[in-house]
């Protein structure tokens, strides 16, 4: 094991001066930064999982590949949930999703009900043989049906069939327990700083 030497004060200055909305990284590093800028930021933490064993579910024809024209509606759905989208502005997130799609760094799957997007998942980063999934959300009115599980299953298996190693970030213990029960690997913990009153 080697010691990590880095300019913590410099990182803190960049975060503070630029009023960065959100910073995420390895939990111990984020906790260290937080001690220097906790007046302006809130900290949360979660788990990083490698999705190696995800059950295949039949999505009964519900899942669609999102188009560029869907990005604003997807961003609105994500931002409607303070926990996963509270640090974004709708237009900024829509532009990020669109840029990821256009550059091949991301893809989006959706489910609609009567033409309205009610569930979503994406890859927020893809590079070489690694993919990071995120943006998993189901509208609160539709959570009695396992739309999220269907979406995640489909995306994970698409990526695995392309030879990708698939990772995701989890902030709810019950979801972590589900991934544990499926036989997926918890790789570590991450931290996230979110600017207060952004």
DSSP E strands in 78-154: the ranges are: 107-113, 116-127, 130-138
Here the CATH number for the domain that contains residue 129 is: 3.40.630.30
Residue 1: pLDDT band (50, 70, 90) is very low
Q: What pTM, to 2 d.p., does this model score?
A: 0.86
Residue 102 lies in a domain: yes
Residue 5 lies in a domain: no
User: What pLDDT is attached to residue 19?
Assistant: 85
Residue 190 lies in a domain: yes
Residue 12 lies in a domain: no
Tell me which long-range contacts 122-131 makes (C-beta under 8 A, separation of at least 24): 122/74, 122/97, 122/155, 123/155, 123/159, 124/100, 125/100, 126/164, 129/163, 129/164, 129/165, 130/164, 130/165, 130/167, 131/159, 131/164, 131/165, 131/166, 131/167
What number is the average pLDDT over the span 25-43?
Answer: 89
Total domains in the fold of the chain: 1
Residue 185 lies in a domain: yes
pLDDT (tens digit per residue) in 109-167: 999 999 999 999 999 999 999 999 999 999 999 999 999 999 999 999 999 999 999 99
Residue 110 lies in a domain: yes
Residue 127 lies in a domain: yes
Residue 10 lies in a domain: no
Give me the domain span that covers residue 166: 22-195
């Amino acid at each position: 094991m080697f010691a990590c030497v880095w300019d913590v004060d410099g990182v803190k200055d960049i975060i503070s001066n630029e009023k960065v909305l959100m910073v995420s990284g390895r939990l111990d590093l984020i906790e260290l930064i937080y001690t220097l800028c906790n007046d302006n930021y809130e900290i949360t933490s979660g788990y990083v999982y490698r999705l190696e064993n995800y059950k295949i579910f039949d999505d009964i024809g519900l899942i669609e590949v999102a188009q560029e024209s869907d990005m604003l509606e997807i961003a609105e759905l994500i931002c409607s949930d303070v926990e996963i989208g509270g640090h974004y502005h709708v237009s900024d997130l829509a532009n990020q999703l669109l840029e990821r799609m256009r550059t091949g760094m991301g893809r989006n799957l959706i489910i609609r009900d009567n033409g309205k997007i009610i569930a979503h998942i994406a890859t927020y980063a893809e590079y070489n043989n690694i993919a990071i999934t995120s943006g998993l959300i189901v509208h609160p009115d539709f959570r009695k049906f396992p739309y999220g599980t269907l979406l995640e299953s489909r995306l994970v298996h698409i990526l695995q069939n392309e030879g990708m190693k698939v990772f995701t970030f989890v902030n709810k213990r019950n979801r972590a327990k589900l991934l544990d029960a499926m036989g997926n690997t918890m790789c570590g913990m991450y931290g996230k700083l979110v600017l207060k009153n952004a």
